[in-house]
Amino acid sequence: MAKGTSGRIVIEVDPDLKEQLYSALDKEGLNLKQWFLLNANEFLQDKTQLSLLPNNNNSNSRKVG
């Protein structure tokens, strides 16, 4: 998928999924842009936060003992 330099993100989804998503967002009082920004920011925040607990899947984790 092409990645341009503008602020636009364009994706193609199944029309039924699109209809269901818009319907669910309308019930929540959100539009697609609001929902995307909330979820994108949460996703990125989770990726940049340091964990206080050791993660066994992390290649940087060290065994003690």
Q: Estimate to the nearest angstrom the gap between the alpha carbon of 46 and the chain centroid.
A: 10
Judged by DSSP in three states, 34 sits in: helix
Report the predicted TM-score, pTM, of the whole model to 2 decimal places: 0.66
List per-residue pLDDT tens for the chain, 65 residues long: 678 899 999 999 999 999 999 999 999 999 999 999 999 999 999 888 776 766 655 555 454 54
